[in-house]
Structure 1
């Protein structure tokens, strides 16, 4: 078995808002990862440079050892920047190891538990009619599940009219696609707990698939009461970064679906542990992934291996993707073989995809400086985006 010593670390900031990582071994085997905090790509890139001295000379076979060394080797640990840097490196190490052994990563985790994975398509629109048309188009394209952010600027406690608008949007979508289609509702942390019950109540008649980030992660203490208030499944987790972040809400029986991000929550190594922890609490897994092809491929490796994986987010056609879309950096643009709202079992070794390095290097020459917008209420106060 080759030693797989890491000899080179490269990063590539590419449109629309992604950061790719390439690790090269002494044997010439390469692995790709996607370490990024959306809007903070340069910050995570700097973190990787700090970690690089521990990575050069380390064996890609010793993935768990590297993870523990970086996580526990610093007095201060966790958080979005460090965990995202570690996540991308972890993905690349698994990619190398799978390629060296000639098998997909899920085989190294114990093998596949399913033959295909359902994904959902993002939809956008400012009005009920626009959202209804967008949902219908996704269904016509073969998707059986969709998701959207259903509100925008929200005051700490907003008007009854704002709440009614949310209900009108959901009603229009449900009428357009019927009851067989799953409709995930993302509140994006824009709602505060004082109005969360009213929003859950107005959405409940339309049977959303889940309510995502009904409150911000820092207000997860409110989730238990909200969970007990509504029959709609509660989902959260994209702004949580380790099994220790998820432990409390699982112990409290405050969530039905967890959504760790493979580029933020410690990579394949950690999300596998988070998924197993959730399984013990009878909680489903739906990895967050509004990012690029490497993060998506890493999430699918977890999905194919974990019995409680429910559905997978994809950035295909998402409104953030300006300048490049999900498959644009793949050698085979049909690399994921998206069909009828599903991805079939990936069979190529490692993460299961082939990156077009020439295109990546060309895009990195231009780079990007993507930042999320800053939103303000009519009185000038900052509100959640």
Structure 2
């Protein structure tokens, strides 16, 4: 233990997306800020995102693309710092970018551009960065000062911004410290779970799934979002990939954020197609074809062989009753599978759940009953869809907290 560092207006725990944005915003607003992180380098999760090119935002980001016990909570922060605001920042730093899919923006070169940009923004706000600092204890004294004890010294400030993320990707140093701190200061935590993660199946299912490993198809999955009056259905249409352990691909990652243990997943293998009408049409046009040939017109070959063996009699289509084809159509449009679980935090892109939004101000992310304590980013019970939404939440929530700290320091 060495020096005790006072004289700061805010301590930011976590040098990731939300933490660096909060620190830069507060610093440029006149606050004296120190960022503390146990990692050796800032923005490690940013660097591996988007295949190394960082899907840094989604131009369509709105509260409807986020999962939370309070679906309205994210509206305020998202409205006050929009995707257009982040794009303006990227352009100001002359970082080339492109739109890969509808609304999804990526760096042309490398995710390193985003990390370097955030560090430059922090430097312009005279933010102090303290990496490789292991946090030993966090407390708040009677005078309202936050005391962060590390293996390199103690930091004191009247505001504390917790931006340490969730439990996903532990190899990058993810821990549950944000949830631990929330509980310590009396904030409730919505049970965390892996999200945007592949689904795995039991041994019995893997027996027939393994021969399909590597096969991909575009499918539709409808998920149930919310409960009671706020309940709604969300449908995703995207790629699905069979793996040796289960299912992956963008549509499965999206569905995983809504999936609960014990629930089936219902997959539409022919999204946008009237399966029953199409099968009858094929039967009429090619009566001498067999079941595999028919399904191969609609599905990848291996998948067609699997469904033909499981649901169709041998022989030509001409001899198959329409009722049999109608049953196959129902299966293809609503194929129900029962996942055993997920690949866990090791493969999860984000953490679902987190600090209960009822305990926070939606305007500035401050704890309602703990003055000066802010929770931002993945630590909070706000989980975005795949496609840049979680980064936009990091920028928006970090900006909201940073602004609040800057206003107080003035």
Kindly name which structure, 1 or 2, has the bigger radius of gyration based on alpha carbons: 2
TM-score by length of 1: 0.23
* Larger strand percent: 2
Q: Which has the higher contact order (CA 8 A, sep 6+)?
A: 2
